[in-house]
Each structure stands twice: as structure tokens, then as C-alpha cells.
Amino acid sequence: MPLMNHQFRLAARPVGMPKKSDWNYTEEPVRDPGPGEVLVKVMYLSLDPAMRGWMNEGKSYIEPVKIGDVMRAFGGGRVVASNNPAYSVGDQVTGIFGIQEYFLSDGKGLNKIDTRMLPMPVYLSALGITGLTAYFGLLDVGQAKAGDTVVVSGAAGATGMMVGQIAKIKGCRAVGIAGGPEKCAYLTRELGFDAAIDYKNEDVSKALRQHCHNGVNVYFDNVGGEILDAVLAQLARFARVVICGAISQYNNTDGIKAPSNYLSLLINSARMEGFIVFNYQSRYAEAAREMAGWIAARKLKSKEDIVEGLQTFPDTLLKLFRGENTGKLMLKLAE
């Protein structure tokens, strides 16, 4: 009896929030690995806000997922068959596996990880694309320096909580913006943020004035919309606004809420800059080493929000857009 693979494939380009009918759940036999190929059994899949962008047509930093293709996703898994001398059965690896149970690789783009050091989910969160995004966005694009006031939105999300913690490690004041008192308490009590602003229950502009007496030196934006506008109005001179994402806007069907306060960049000689973590590939190893050191020293905490079962994917993905996750959202497929 052949090994069967199950997958979520893109059935339609979503309008607004992705619906069940935008996906096809499919089944097919796993092909035996050919020469040089490696078969990976997928154990964890990373769910990221960026996935919403990959579902859209049009020019972006990466090809859109084609209709009918397995949805693109980062994952971690175990090698279960290998015709590639670089990989042995039992190796633990990460890569772009897609929303499926098995991934057949030509051996390129796989990274071996050591799960005796840290559990696999950490390699997909703090030590994965998420942590690297926070690291390069904050330190390279945002040029955060000791003494700066760093504000981050989506602060209880996977990237946001890394940003605030790295800011603290680097001697900055860290102010997080998140939705709800539980998330805010988590940021200040568990992760060492100096302050947290609950955008669902507080006046963000007023709270920013209260927590950022000398203005905002670095704003790491994951959400866009009204919060971006509120922070723009509070920039310090020579501030850096890092555009990492705009999760509040990805499912809009009536256009983007544009940043009306962008002329704050002019009066404050400030900049707003977008980036893609893939720009930094040549420096991933260096950054991951530094972050692993922080984790070992218990200065940096990785938190995952793990949901079991491939079949929950269409619903679980929506947790991101509803702000229901705290930390790195991922699917667990197997032990």
C-alpha cells in the first residue's frame, strides 16, 4: 500500500479573508525519491501573515502561489528516505515544505537542525525566518541603538515579541502595541517590555505620548492602518519606521488605509523603509548564532502557539488575522 500525502492547494484567489472554498484538500501517493532526492515527513508547519500576500496575483517580492499548487509554507520535519549523500534517514531539517504531510526535496534549501539543543518549533520561530526578520528589521533596517525608544505593533505576534526582546537586549526602551489585556500583561511581565499598549481598550496616541516622552526612535510596524498613522505622529527626529507587514490591511476589500501622517517623515527627517528577510540570506548564520546564544543565556524567550492537525489549516490560518495567536502560530502534524 503506497504512502499517501495530504495537501492544501490554492483553489481560488481570496477576496478579503480566505474562505474554505479558496482551498482544495487533496490526496496523492508519495512518489519514491529519485536520484539525489530526499523525502521529508513534515512535523511542524509555520503559519505566517506573509502567506496572505503569497495568495494574491501580481508582482511582489516572490512569485504568487499558483492556483492548484500546494500552499507555500515553511516547515520542519524528519528525513524518512534519502538518495542524497548529504542527508540520512532520521536527520531533522527545515525548509519550504508547503502545507502537506510529505515533501520530496532535491536536497537544495534544506537546513539540518539539532533538536537535542532546542525543540524543532524554536527553529521555526526564534531561530527561523521569524526571529531573523525581527533581528535584521530592528538592527539593520531600523538601526536600533542603546537608549532608543522602540515601538513595535503586533507585539504579541511571533515577530513582534522577538523585536521587543531584542530591543531590550540591545539597551533600548521597548514599547509593545497588542490587542487585549492578557497579551499586554504577557509582554511586560514575561518578556520584559517596558510598556504595552492595548489598542483595543486604550487611546493609542495618548498612550504613546505617555510611554515615549522623547518620541519614537524606531517603529517596527507589523500592522499598518490606524496604528501606523498614530505612531507616525509621534516620531522623534531622525526616526526609522520599519515596514515589516500590514496585517490589518491584508484582507481589506476596499483598498488600503494609507498613512495620512506620512509628512511626519519630512518634519522629523525620518525614514520609512520596507524589507524582506530574504535580502539577508548571507547573514542568517551569524544572526542565528547570536540569537541561539541569547536563548541559551535565557535572555530571549521563544513562544509558540501550536495547533494540532493538518486539516485545521484553513481555520488555524485565520487566527493570525483575528489576532487570536500569542507567539508563533504553527501546525503540528506528527511527533
- Residues contributing to the site for a second copy (CB under 8 A): 53, 59-61, 224, 243-246, 249, 255-256, 258-276, 279
User: Parallel, antiparallel, or unpaired for β 235-243 and 271-274?
Assistant: parallel
Return the sign of the alpha-carbon dihedral for residues 157, 161, 167, 173: positive
Which one, 93 or 320, has the nearer CB to a second copy?
Answer: 320
Which one, 228 or 329, has the nearer CB to a second copy?
Answer: 228
Q: Work out how close the CB of 65 gets to a second copy at its nearest, in angstroms, rounded to a whole number.
A: 15
Q: How many CB atoms lie within 10 A of CB 118?
A: 16
Q: Work out how close the CB of 243 gets to a second copy at its nearest, in angstroms, rounded to a whole number.
A: 5
Q: What is the 3-state secondary structure (H, E, C) of the chain?
A: CCCEEEEEEECCCCCCCCCHHHEEEEEEECCCCCCCCEEEEEEEEECCCHHHHHCCCCCCCCCCCCCCCECCCEEEEEEEEECCCCCCCCCEEEEECCCECEEEECCCCCEECCCCCCCHHHHHCCCCHHHHHHHHHHHHHCCCCCCCEEEEECCCEHHHHHHHHHHHHCCCEEEEEECCHHHHHHHHHHCCCCEEEECCCCCHHHHHHHHCCCCEEEEEECCCHHHHHHHHCCEEEEEEEEECCCCCCCCCCCCCCCCHHHHHHHHCCCEEEECCHHHHHHHHHHHHHHHHHHHHCCCCCCCEEEEECHHHHHHHHHHHHCCCCCEEEEEECCC
Which one, 276 or 318, has the nearer CB to a second copy?
Answer: 276
**CB-based contact 330:44 (threshold 8 Å):** yes
Q: Work out how close the CB of 279 gets to a second copy at its nearest, in angstroms, rounded to a whole number.
A: 6
Which one, 36 or 53, has the nearer CB to a second copy?
Answer: 53
Q: Work out how close the CB of 51 gets to a second copy at its nearest, in angstroms, rounded to a whole number.
A: 15
> Residue 74 and residue 312: Cα distance in Å, rounded?
17
Which one, 53 or 107, has the nearer CB to a second copy?
Answer: 53
Which one, 26 or 261, has the nearer CB to a second copy?
Answer: 261
Q: Work out how close the CB of 251 gets to a second copy at its nearest, in angstroms, rounded to a whole number.
A: 14
Q: Work out how close the CB of 111 gets to a second copy at its nearest, in angstroms, rounded to a whole number.
A: 23
Q: Work out how close the CB of 252 gets to a second copy at its nearest, in angstroms, rounded to a whole number.
A: 11
Which one, 25 or 54, has the nearer CB to a second copy?
Answer: 54
Which one, 5 or 234, has the nearer CB to a second copy?
Answer: 234
Q: Work out how close the CB of 112 gets to a second copy at its nearest, in angstroms, rounded to a whole number.
A: 29
